[in-house]
Chain A
Amino acid sequence: MTELVAKDITVDAGSATLVRDASLTLSPGELVAILGPNGAGKTSLLRAALGLLDTSGGTATLAGKDVATMPAAERARLVSYLPQRRPLAWPNTVRDIVALGRFAHGAALGKLGPQDAAAVASAISACDLEALAERNADTLSGGEIARVHFARALAASAPLLVADEPTAALDPLHQLGIAELLRRFVDAGGGALVVLHDIALAARFADRLLWMRHGQVVAAGPPAETLTRERIRDVYGVHAHVATDAHGFDVRIEAAQ
């Protein structure tokens, strides 16, 4: 089984410590959401766990192998990564951007093999992008671009997916759309680790929540166990109303502390 295991990760940047002794695991079949305020070290922890950032302590393994020494292409075939900043240098077509997800499989744009083409087509259809497939990226809306990036991550056909704020700058409907795509990926046997800022959305879709503050993981567990009024106050510094209803969790931020 492909498992991502990060143990006691510490990341320093100059004199500042971005992440301190943080651990996480991600297995197929689960959706893990990382919650925490800006600057809590969520992105740094993700990058360190993927071997994209130098650590000053701790280990990260993917399928039992150290990520730091794993070739980039091998890692990419096991876990696809959707970073927070997703700049596109050129106005490529949607199909080509999605096809870049097949890079680690040796795919070259414009001459995809049958396997690559099939993976790209299925990712495009999963994200409902068929109608936009031949459009240039600079003609798309923010919500459409977010779906294109998500499809790119899916096209890798990797068992694991790590996404850093995939719903950033999206309206509620599109946030829900991305969350549903994540859920579908997980229900089909994938494992997803996602940074989210919408607590209610995370509680509704995730199997486990990982709460971070000041570079440390302060709590981890299913929403029912870790999502409390006190936790939100401690982690985010705001007063909130938390209730459970038939649809899941109702979280309402009431006032700053």
Chain B
Amino acid sequence: MTPRVLTVLLLTASAGALLAACFLGSTPLGGARVIAALLGQGTAGDGIVLWEIRLPRALTAFVVGAALGTSGAALQGLLRNPLADPGVLGVTATSSLTATFALYYGLAATSAFLLPVYAIAGALAATALLAAAAIRIRSVVTLILLGVGLSSFSAAAMSLLLNLAPNPFTLSDMMNWLLGSVANRSLADLQFALPFMLVGLAILFANRRGLSALTLGEEAASGVGLDLRRQRIAIVLGAGLATGASVALAGAIGFVGIVAPHIVRPIVDHDPARSLWPSALLAGLILVLADIGVRLMPTATELKLGVVAALIGAPAFIWIAVMRRVTYD
């Protein structure tokens, strides 16, 4: 399969999954009624189900997946390691911590923009810390361990916030961020987070060629003409913005940023630059499908998307770690 065929395939599948998400749900809605609502001709109730519940939810799942998939692929290219991803490195955990902090102190209520801003600030701080450490620490294993440490610390601080939650409502609000979900998102929520996400993704895509150069190692990469400092800042900024915006939308959803680039990589000849597009599409597709699964699963309380993603993703992470092809390091 060529990269072009892969992209076309993923685009088609993503469009199909988004459409399917409109047809499926807890309220039985016939195909004709969904199509009518899509075209704006259905009843008011059908319109609400479609435009305010199903479509925003599916779109949120897709853009969150795309942001995490791209960030994962870009961080893997920058850190030269297939196990790097916003979740493993503690970026999403730190981001959801700051988002929870904003919720806890009621800051998010004062302006809808504050939640994404806080989530992004946390993501940027974590990514910048990791990138700064990456310059000093040569060992990638140490870097991953640093990410694990960061992740644990954020989890601990999060537990503290949960512990101090003043009432059950705040507690359940916080739990949502912790577990990760795209339920009950509105187009307005999307509107607030999307600009940050798009800027982040644009930065990542604009700087993807440098990720190919980093294949050679940092010294040789600067030897072939890469401005290392600029590249690091760009990827940190891009991944921080995209991940932070995704956390603001859906809370902490892990592992999709590892799994998607891993599947894509052999098809794009292991080139980090060429893995960005397909990783974005595949990760978006995975989350849309997983969310459809969550909605259709006949459980008493609906499962959280982040929980399902982790249940599938964590074993995949272990598999990738064990099967990692050893290169000349």
Give B274's nearest chain A residue, CB to CB: A110
Q: In the complex the two chains form, is B209's CB within 8 Å of A87's CB?
A: no
CB-contact partner of A110 in B217, B228, B271, B327, under 8 A:
B271
Q: Which of B152-160, B175-183, B219-227, B301-309 contacts A (4 or more CB under 8 A)?
A: B219-227
Q: In the complex the two chains form, is A103's CB within 8 Å of B225's CB?
A: yes
Give A79's nearest chain B residue, CB to CB: B223
What residues of chain B lie closer than 8 Å to A152, measured between beta carbons? 216, 224
In the complex, chain A residues 130-186 whose Cβ is within 8 Å of any chain B Cβ: 136-138, 145, 152, 156
CB-contact partner of B215 in A72, A74, A100, under 8 A:
A100
Q: In the complex the two chains form, is B212's CB within 8 Å of A88's CB?
A: no
Q: In the complex the two chains form, is B217's CB within 8 Å of A100's CB?
A: no
In the complex, chain A residues 80-124 whose Cβ is within 8 Å of any chain B Cβ: 80-83, 85-93, 96-97, 100-101, 103-104, 108-110
Q: How far is the CB of B136 from chain A (nearest CB, A)?
A: 14
What residues of chain A lie closer than 8 Å to B228, measured between beta carbons? 72
* A71-B227 contact given A86-B328, A87-B328, A137-B327, CB 8 Å threshold: yes
Give B268's nearest chain A residue, CB to CB: A110
What residues of chain A lie closer than 8 Å to B223, measured between beta carbons? 50, 52, 76, 80-83
Q: How far is the CB of A62 from chain B (nearest CB, A)?
A: 13
* A86-B271 contact given A77-B225, A138-B326, CB 8 Å threshold: no
12 contacts between A and B (CB under 8 A): A73-B225, A81-B223, A85-B217, A88-B216, A88-B329, A90-B215, A93-B270, A108-B209, A109-B273, A138-B325, A138-B327, A145-B328
Q: In the complex the two chains form, is B216's CB within 8 Å of A97's CB?
A: yes
Is B130 engaged at the interface, CB distance under 8 Å to the other chain?
Answer: no
- Residue numbers of A with Cβ under 8 A of B are 50, 52, 71-77, 80-83, 85-93, 96-97, 100-101, 103-104, 108-110, 136-138, 145, 152, 156
Q: In the complex the two chains form, is A92's CB within 8 Å of B217's CB?
A: no
Is B272 engaged at the interface, CB distance under 8 Å to the other chain?
Answer: yes
Give A111's nearest chain B residue, CB to CB: B274
Measured in the bound complex, the distance between the Cα atoms of B325 and A91 in whole Å is 8
CB-contact partner of A88 in B268, B273, B327, under 8 A:
B327
* 12 further A-B pairs in the complex, CB-CB below 8 A; given A90-B265, A91-B270: A50-B223, A73-B227, A83-B217, A87-B216, A87-B327, A89-B81, A89-B327, A89-B329, A92-B269, A103-B213, A110-B3, A156-B224
List 9 tightest A-B contacts by C-beta distance, closest first: A76-B225, A104-B225, A81-B223, A89-B80, A73-B225, A90-B270, A103-B224, A83-B219, A87-B217
What residues of chain B lie closer than 8 Å to A156, measured between beta carbons? 224
Measured in the bound complex, the distance between the Cα atoms of B227 and A112 in whole Å is 21
Q: In the complex the two chains form, is A75's CB within 8 Å of B217's CB?
A: no
CB-contact partner of B225 in A75, A136, A145, under 8 A:
A75
What residues of chain B lie closer than 8 Å to A93, measured between beta carbons? 269-270
* A96-B271 contact given A72-B225, A83-B223, A89-B80, CB 8 Å threshold: yes
What residues of chain A lie closer than 8 Å to B258, measured between beta carbons? none
Q: How far is the CB of B13 from chain A (nearest CB, A)?
A: 22
What residues of chain A lie closer than 8 Å to B209, measured between beta carbons? 103, 108
Measured in the bound complex, the distance between the Cα atoms of B270 and A87 in whole Å is 15
Measured in the bound complex, the distance between the Cα atoms of B222 and A74 in whole Å is 11
